[in-house]
Structure 1
Amino acid sequence: MNQREIGELRRRLKPDKNAITKIYGCYVNSNKQVISYLDASLGVMPQDEAEKYLTLLRRTLTGQLQKNLIDIVFSTRQVADSEEHRLLSALRQTELKDEQVRRQFYDQVIQALDMDERNYLILLAHDTYDVPYRGRDDQDQADASDQVFSYVLCAICPVKDSKAELGYFPGENEFHSRSAGQVVAPPELGFLFPAFDNRSANLYNALYYTRQTDLIHQEFIDALFRTEPPMSADEQKETFHTALAESLDGACSMEVVRAVHQQLRDKLLQHKEERDPEAPSISPKEVDAILHNCGVEEEKVQAFHKSCAAQFGEGVPLNPANLINSGRFEIKTENATILIDPDYSYLVETRKINGRTYLLLPADGMEVNGLAVDLRDHQPG
């Protein structure tokens, strides 16, 4: 799926645009015990309540591709005959109306999922989307729908204790303490099945959502999808940095790191300007070229290439957004951390003075703790 297709589904999740009739769910405590089940008609509940449910579901379609939104790929064997695909297909085909199928799904999630001893709510919804025909002018024609996309959305939301606060009671015209309660937090994970590829159902894929890129809940993926997901964004970044540092060894200089960061950042900026709905990518050969341009020896470039091939796969394109933080250029030493606008990273130099290496950068307009510092030379009187 690309960002345009994800956005198309996300815009449906409003009270007046979707075909969701019911919201189903299961409230689970920290001991993996079911506290209650949810079976609520969306059309008869108050609008603000319906909007809150839809907002939680919509959050599972937000974030960056290949970072928060991860493509789950099923094998041909799984689609043809596997327990995991049959369960997902049964949820979709029954439109979640079969209580036994829902209970089977809940049990599977509860047994596998580790929510760090927190209560949580499993939300499920089924929607049927009459996909409008899109003409050559890239404009939708709502009255010319040529297919129906039937899908299931799942959101798993932590339930947190709220704090007691002072509140106003209109009937008494006074302020009193309001008792603490429990509040449903934004989803930590969720999924869409099947994927909406080329604006149609792709039973070979699901779209998995994780709020935290360093905590993708592998145990959930193993239990429900039984397939190996791509490396998480945080793992990709750490692996890429390790490959650079170890392969280049003494050649991993400030200039090389800055050049790699700048080239990857340029890729992301170009992708943003072009408004490409697909995720940005850079090939290993392009990174090799950056290293060559920095004067890195061929032997070390090849070592880096082999390390990436072993970790990511030969020729597999990488998402630059997963490899760097494009919004900042960070320098850390044993005693200090310096954050620099990437546009001005070229101002930083390293220089050896009296046998010791120093960082040098212009100090024009310097402030310390928000206070302007006078940098004029002060000669003793």
Structure 2
Amino acid sequence: MNKKEINEIRKLFTPENCSIRRICGCYVDAEKQRRTEIKEAFLSLPELETFKYFTIFKDTLSGTVGKNMINMEFPMAAEERGGAQEFLLNLRDSGLKNEVVVEQFYDKVIESYDYGENYYIILIHCIYDIPGKAQDGTVMEDASDYVYDFIQCVICPVKLSKAGLYYNTEANAIENRNRDWLVEAPAAGFLFPAFNDRNTDIHSLLFCIKNPDQMPERFVNETLGCAVPMSAQDQAQTFQGIVEEFMGDSCSFGAVKSIHENLHELLEESKDETQQITINPEQIKKILENNGAEEEKLKEFEKRYEGFEAQQQEFILSNITNQKNFEVKTPDVSIKVKADKTYLVESRMIDGRPCIVIGTDGHVEVNGIEVKPIEAVAEE
């Protein structure tokens, strides 16, 4: 799913466009015991509650595609009879009205979701009449060709509110506030099936995670039957390692700066694209070659290509390059330049010493104080 498709689904979580038919929930304590459950027609809930739930569902589908929202495909094993895909389809097709299947889902989550505190599992079933689109891209609200029948699962931490004082309006006094168990913003969740190309894709799902560094691997592997992809941070670190290793002695300031510029150009060229922009090992090899990697190092890269491809066939481009800054660090100094202004920074030998030189337009501030241009100081 791309950002536009995700935003289209987010718009369903409003009073005007609500497509939610049913909601089920299970509150689980730190000992993995179920404390309470709900099962309701969503629109039978009090209006204030529905607004709170809308916020939770929209927050789940927030963040960066490829980092917080990850497209996952089911491996062949998960699509076999009795696999995770079949179970999720049964859950969806029941409209969350088959209590046995819903209870089984709760059990799977409780068994595989490693979280040592209280949390709230929320399940919703939705049916969306997908509006057709004219050739010019205009949405035709009354021309629905397909129906997107899906479920969304959200897992929210439940934590005790902080102690404090409050103003009691009835007593006209400042008093101690009772501590309550509050349902917090979603930590993880998923959308199944995926809404790819604005239609149902039962071979994929969209997994959502607030903190990518805390990926619930057992939950993804065992309950969803999917393989955990390389995280955004791991993709960045792996790419950095590839550049350092296979550029070898050619891994100079100028070469790395040029690689950054190559990647930034690719991002700029594709900024109007709705799909994730990825880069594969063959493209990486070409970039290394164009920036001075030795033939011997490129052959080493080719030898490792097959194993590398099996691990991670493609990198998401936005995960391996800083879209905002070009950063230079030494043990004592850190320099940040806008990603498209790398020409302002260069390396030079000055008095036999390697230096990083920053070009200026004459306007310089030091600790917030505007200082005179260097030329003016030199003339004095």
Structure 1 length normalisation: TM-score?
A: 0.89
Residue identity opposite 1:30 in structure 2: A
Native 8 Å contact 2:84 2:223 kept in 1: yes
- The corresponding residue for 2:226 is 227
Give 3-state SS (helix, strand or coil) of 1:349's partner: strand
Task: Normalising by structure 2, report the TM-score.
Answer: 0.89
2:170 equivalent to 1:192: no
CA contact (8 A) 1:120 1:159 kept: yes
Q: Percent identity?
A: 34
Asked if structure 2 preserves the Cα contact closer than 8 Å seen for 1:12 and 1:18, the reply is: yes
Aligned counterpart, 1:13: 13
Letter in 2 for 1:70: I
Query: Do structure 1's residue 318 and structure 2's residue 343 form an aligned pair?
Result: no
Match of 2:293 in 1: 296
The one-letter code of the counterpart of 1:91 is L
Mapped pair 1:349 → 2:349:
no
Cα distance in 2 between the residues matched to 1:322 and 1:192: 22
Note if contact 2:12-2:18 (Cα within 8 Å) is conserved in structure 1.
yes
Specify whether residues 360 and 186 from structure 1 end up closer, same or farther in structure 2 by C-alpha distance, changes over 3 A only: same
The range that moved more, 146-155 or 129-138, is 129-138
Q: Residues 379 and 300 (structure 1 numbering): CA distance in 2 closer, same or farther, change over 3 Å?
A: same
Counterpart amino acid of residue 327 in structure 2: E
Number of the residue aligned with 2:365:
367
In structure 1, what is the Cα distance between the partners aligned to 2:312 and 2:206? 24
Quick one: which amino acid aligns to residue 367 of structure 1?
Answer: E
User: Where in structure 1 are there 5+ consecutive unaligned residues?
Assistant: none
1:333 equivalent to 2:330? Answer yes
Cα displacement (A) at 1:167: 3.2
Which residue number corresponds to residue 74 of structure 2?
74
1:140 and 1:328 map into 2 onto residues whose CA distance is 37
How far does the alpha carbon of each residue in 1:129-179 deviate from its partner, in whole angstroms, 9 at most, with x for none? 112222323223232222222111001111223223443333344444433
Q: Does 1:111 align with 2:111?
A: yes
**8 Å contact 1:284–1:315 — kept in the other structure?**
no
CA distance in 1, matches of 2:306, 2:240: 14
2:120 — aligned with what? 121
| Alpha-carbon separation, structure 2, partners of 1:18 and 1:306 | 53
How far off is 1:190 after superposition? 0.7
CA contact (8 A) 1:121 1:156 kept: yes
- Structure 1 stretch 253-262 or stretch 285-294: which is displaced more? 285-294
Q: Which residue of 2 aligns with 1:135?
A: 134
In the alignment, does 2:251 pair up with 1:256?
A: no
Aligned-pair distance for 1:357? 3.1
**Letter aligned with residue 83 of structure 1:** G
Secondary structure, counterpart of 1:144 in structure 2: strand
Secondary structure in structure 2 of the residue aligned to 1:142: strand
Q: What corresponds to 2:207 in structure 1?
A: 208
Per the alignment, in what secondary structure is the counterpart of residue 266 of structure 1? helix
After TM superposition, give the deviation of residue 234 of structure 1 in Å. Answer: 1.4
**What is the CA-CA distance between 1:80 and the residue it aligns to?**
4.0
| Equivalent residue letter for 2:329 | K
Does structure 2 retain, via aligned residues, the 8 Å contact 1:68–1:209?
Answer: yes
Cα deviation, residue 240, structure 1: 0.8
Q: Which ranges of structure 2 fall in alignment gaps of 5 or more residues?
A: none
What letter matches 1:202 in structure 2? D
- Show structure 1 runs of 4+ deviating over 6 A: none
1:60 and 2:57 matched: no
Residue identity opposite 1:50 in structure 2? T
Question: For residues 54-88 of structure 1, what are the alpha-carbon distances to aligned partners after superposition, in whole Å with 9 as ceiling and x for unaligned?
Answer: 22122222233222222221244533402322321
Answer yes or no: is the 8 Å Cα contact 2:56–2:185 preserved in 1.
Answer: yes
Rounded Cα–Cα distance in structure 1 between residues aligned with 2:83 and 2:366: 62
- The aligned amino acid for 1:129 is Y
Distance 1:197 1:379 in 2: 64
Question: Does the Cα contact within 8 Å between 1:162 and 1:180 map onto a contact in 2?
Answer: yes
Q: CA deviation at 1:373?
A: 4.8
Amino acid at match of 1:141: M
- Of 332-341 and 297-306, more deviation after overlay is shown by 297-306
For 1:162, the equivalent position in structure 2 comes to 161
CA distance in 2: counterparts of 1:369 and 1:305, whole angstroms: 49
